[in-house]
């Protein structure tokens, strides 16, 4: 069963102001394909299996997002840095070469730490005139103001939020800094060996088990139904 979600759609529009002719439509060389980022450390067999699940569901041309400095450093950055809106002019977040991929859409999907990587990437692309067809944030500790700015960006056509609170996750999109700090002890308990193996709370999609495999395929099916291709 897919967790409770919030889906917000906005219409994409790209224009430049013209002194004599009013708004002028411009052509954008749209990046294509789907990038998926997993949790802190970007490691574990669940990542490759989730990508396989996406492809099986009909979401083709999926690549694994990179850029990690390790499990703990990634988690720390998520709590104090990445959850906030960054400079939209920072090309660090650009994914080079995706405009050459023969795919229908440009989609960004992220889980936990990966949701912030996806959010920052979408923010930079959308703020610089590119269309992001779908941005999916799963179990995301993203700041409320940053989330609101993504929701209001007309170049992000569809924003999908998947919270895991019904599974015991203390984290949710738009969480405040103080609530995130209060969640630390619970997250640590959920992240112990037995909790990770069983996929408790925040780590619902992580277990390397048949149950975990089924959950990842439910997620892929849900996102396919939301329009990702």
**Structural domains in the chain (count):** 1
Number of H helices, E strands in the chain: 8, 8
Residue 40, domain member (yes or no): yes
pLDDT in tens, 147-177: 999 999 999 999 999 999 999 999 999 999 9
- pLDDT for 5 beyond 50: no
| Inside any domain, residue 27 | no
pLDDT of residue 29: 56
Q: Let me know if residue 107 belongs to a domain.
A: yes
Distance CA 155, CA 150 (A): 9
Q: In this model, does residue 14 exceed pLDDT 70?
A: no
Nearest to 205 by CA among 33, 2, 41: 2
Query: Is 17 within a domain?
Result: no
Q: Is residue 133 situated within a structural domain?
A: yes
Pairing of strands 106-111, 33-37: parallel
Q: Which residues form the domain of 199?
A: 32-225
State the average pLDDT over residues 34-52.
97
| Tokens describing residue 140 | 């995301």
Please tell me the predicted confidence (pLDDT) of residue 96.
74
Q: What is the pLDDT at residue 19?
A: 37
**In the structure, what pLDDT confidence band is assigned to residue 31 with cuts at 50, 70 and 90?**
confident
| Contact present, 185 and 173 (Cβ < 8 Å) | no
| Closest alpha carbon to 115 in 142, 149, 77, 92 | 142
Instruction: Give the Cα separation of 184 and 180 in Å (integer).
Output: 7
Helix/strand/coil for 64: strand
What are residue 139's phi and psi, to 5 degrees? 50, 50
Is residue 219, in this structure, part of any structural domain at all?
Answer: yes
Residue 4: predicted pLDDT: 45
Question: Roughly how many angstroms between the first and final C-alpha of the chain, as a whole number?
Answer: 21
Helix (H, G, I), strand (E, B) or coil at 66: coil
Q: For 82-93, write each residue's pLDDT tens digit.
A: 999 999 999 888
Give per-residue pLDDT as tens, 194-219: 888 999 999 999 999 999 999 999 99
Is 4 within the bounds of a domain?
Answer: no
- Give per-residue pLDDT as tens, 103-119: 889 999 999 999 999 99
Q: Which tokens sit at 184?
A: 């630390």
With respect to residue 205, please indicate whether it lies within any of the assigned structural domains.
yes
């Amino acid at each position: 069963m897919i967790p409770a979600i919030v889906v917000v759609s906005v219409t994409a529009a790209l224009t430049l102001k013209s002194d004599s002719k009013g708004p002028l439509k411009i052509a954008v060389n749209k990046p294509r394909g789907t990038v998926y980022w997993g949790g802190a450390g970007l490691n574990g067999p669940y990542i490759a299996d989730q990508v396989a699940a996406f492809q099986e569901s009909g979401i083709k041309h999926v690549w694994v997002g990179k850029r990690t400095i390790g499990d703990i450093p990634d988690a720390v950055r998520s709590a104090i840095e990445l959850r906030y809106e960054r400079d939209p002019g920072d090309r660090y977040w650009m994914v080079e070469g995706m405009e050459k991929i023969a795919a229908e859409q440009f989609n960004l999907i992220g889980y936990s730490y990966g949701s912030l990587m996806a959010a920052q990437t979408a923010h930079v692309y959308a703020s610089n005139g590119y269309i992001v067809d779908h941005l999916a944030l799963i179990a995301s500790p993203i700041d409320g103001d940053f989330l609101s700015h993504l929701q209001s960006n007309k170049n992000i056509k569809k924003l999908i939020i998947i919270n895991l609170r019904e599974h015991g996750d203390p984290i949710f999109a738009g969480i405040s800094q103080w609530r995130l700090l209060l969640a630390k002890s619970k997250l640590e308990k959920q992240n112990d060996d037995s909790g990770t193996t069983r996929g408790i709370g925040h780590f619902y999609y992580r277990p390397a088990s048949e149950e975990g495999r089924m959950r990842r395929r439910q997620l892929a099916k849900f996102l396919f139904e939301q329009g990702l291709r």
